[in-house]
Amino acid sequence: MSKHSDFYYKRQLFLNKRSVTGYAQPMKFSDPATARTVNRLRVLNLLRQEGTMSRADISRSLNLNKPSTSEIVATLIEEGFAEEGGKVQTSSGRRPTAISLKSDGHVVLGVELGSFTTSFLLSDLKGTILRYERLPTPPQPDAKEWGEKVIKSCMKFAASTTLSGIVVATAATVSADRRSITKHENWGWRDIPLAQAIEVHTKVPTILVHNVEAMVSAERTFGGEKSETLLYINWAHHINAAWVNNATVTSQRSKFGHLPIASTGLCQCGGIGCLETIASGWALKEKGEGMSAKQLASLGGTNPHLVEACKAMGTALIWAASITGAEKIILGGGISNIGEPYLGLIREIFARHAHHELSSTPIVQSALKEQSSNLGSIAVALDHWIFRSSILKTLQEY
Ligand SMILES: [Zn+2]
């Protein structure tokens, strides 16, 4: 398949996606082409989940007839998403041919525009990182200058391989079509059509995503997270959060890091006493005379600045949980790696002061630990450009 036709095909899928989210004409569900698209995605997602299966297993699991299953499998093989290989063991002694994902059949590029580092990760269908590059993000980067650097790096990746899609994750609100940064949380960027610019230069379909929304996606895709109602905190240089309710993720307007926890302390947002003034990476660095939270934690004993940070975090979590009723709280981001004694202190504060019905809410570290902020864009890219599992879920609910 030529790069152009692949691009066209993905754009069509993207337009279909938009139709179910209400931007364009509604999809006709009785349409056989739509049914085929849905079944193709069901097979693709089943292979992702199960690893290796025979055609008969696929047909049984999805309640699809055998000719349709064979046709879909043939299409997936032809498109480079699946491959035949080996035999499947069965109790009857027959050994049908095994079908599995062709991991390197398609690749996606994830870009993380972070406070200190901008990372580029090339991933195969299974989320294996094939190539990783990073650039130091300048302090308060200029949108045009830094945007051009990012585009150049994306072009380098696009020139060396055929990309199925690009996802850029950053702490910003993005437009409804996910093509422009409406407002960056920390850099003063307004209305930057970044995805559009990357797409024009790379000819690869591109979308933007809020970074914590991406972290939630990584937790589910690579960390095995199944909870439908949870609060996810990105505890890093800045602090932001996502509220996940029945699989809907809301993060863009959340200002968790700016809950007024103290009565003094000037925040970078201009407010007084925000959570960030006590617990963020930038505040800890100021208090710890240039040492990072990780360095403070490795000094041994209990560091008074980190103790204060954990107490403030515990209090902020009580507020958030009291309003949302979250069934689980996940701490991700660099500072969530400060170690169990500190996380234990957060749990202690929470258990002691939260309403008794909430006090046993589990507060856990991200299953991805150090990788929690790196894999988000990859998880979103695989879902959006390849597996489209969230769209499949929507379609199946009809
Ligand atoms: Zn603030």
| pLDDT tens figures, 34-59 | 788 889 999 999 999 898 999 999 99
CB within 8 Å of 234: residues ≥ 6 apart? 211, 212, 215, 240, 241, 242, 332, 333, 372, 373
Going from the Cα of 42 to the center of ligand 1, the distance in angstroms, rounded, reads 44
Residue-level pLDDT at 370: 87
pLDDT tens across 226-269, in order?
998 999 999 999 999 999 987 788 887 889 999 999 999 999 99
Three-state DSSP state, 186: coil
Residue-level pLDDT at 22: 34
For the whole model, what pTM was predicted?
A: 0.86
Going from the Cα of 163 to the center of ligand 1, the distance in angstroms, rounded, reads 39
Q: Which CATH architecture has domain 107-216+374-385?
A: 2-Layer Sandwich (3.30)
End-to-end Cα, the chain, rounded Å: 32
Dist CA 73 CA 24 (whole Å): 30
β strands within 9-106, DSSP E: 52-53, 82-87, 97-101
State the DSSP string of 77-128.
Answer: HHTTSEEEEEE---TTS--PEEEEE-TTSSEEEEEEE-SSEEEEEEE-TT--
Going from the Cα of 284 to the center of ligand 1, the distance in angstroms, rounded, reads 14
Going from the Cα of 228 to the center of ligand 1, the distance in angstroms, rounded, reads 29
Q: What is the CATH number of domain 3-104+389-397?
A: 1.10.10.10
Q: Pinpoint the residues of the chain covered by CATH 1.10.10.10.
A: 3-104+389-397
Residue-level pLDDT at 30: 60
Going from the Cα of 262 to the center of ligand 1, the distance in angstroms, rounded, reads 11
Tokens 């035949």, residue located: 84
Three-state DSSP state, 317: helix
Going from the Cα of 324 to the center of ligand 1, the distance in angstroms, rounded, reads 21
Are 196 and 177 in contact by the 8 Å Cβ rule? The answer is no
Are 39 and 390 in contact by the 8 Å Cβ rule? The answer is no
Domain 226-366: which CATH number of 3.40.50.300, 3.30.230.10, 3.30.420.40, 3.40.50.800: 3.30.420.40
Going from the Cα of 118 to the center of ligand 1, the distance in angstroms, rounded, reads 24
Going from the Cα of 299 to the center of ligand 1, the distance in angstroms, rounded, reads 28
Going from the Cα of 217 to the center of ligand 1, the distance in angstroms, rounded, reads 26
Residue 312, Cβ neighbours under 10 Å: how many?
A: 25
Are 166 and 109 in contact by the 8 Å Cβ rule? The answer is yes
Going from the Cα of 269 to the center of ligand 1, the distance in angstroms, rounded, reads 4
Q: Pinpoint the residues of the chain covered by CATH 3.30.420.40.
A: 107-216+374-385, 226-366
Dist CA 396 CA 398 (whole Å): 5
Dist CA 134 CA 280 (whole Å): 23
Question: What 8-state DSSP symbol labels residue 374?
Answer: T
Going from the Cα of 240 to the center of ligand 1, the distance in angstroms, rounded, reads 11
CB within 8 Å of 9: residues ≥ 6 apart? 1
Are 197 and 180 in contact by the 8 Å Cβ rule? The answer is no
Going from the Cα of 271 to the center of ligand 1, the distance in angstroms, rounded, reads 5
Residue-level pLDDT at 398: 63
Are 179 and 208 in contact by the 8 Å Cβ rule? The answer is yes
Which residues in the chain show pLDDT less than 50?
1-26
Four-point Cα dihedral 138, 142, 147, 150, nearest 10? -10
Three-state DSSP state, 201: helix
Task: Enumerate the β-bridge partners of residue 363.
Answer: 329
Going from the Cα of 253 to the center of ligand 1, the distance in angstroms, rounded, reads 14
Q: What is the CA radius of gyration of the chain?
A: 23
Going from the Cα of 257 to the center of ligand 1, the distance in angstroms, rounded, reads 7
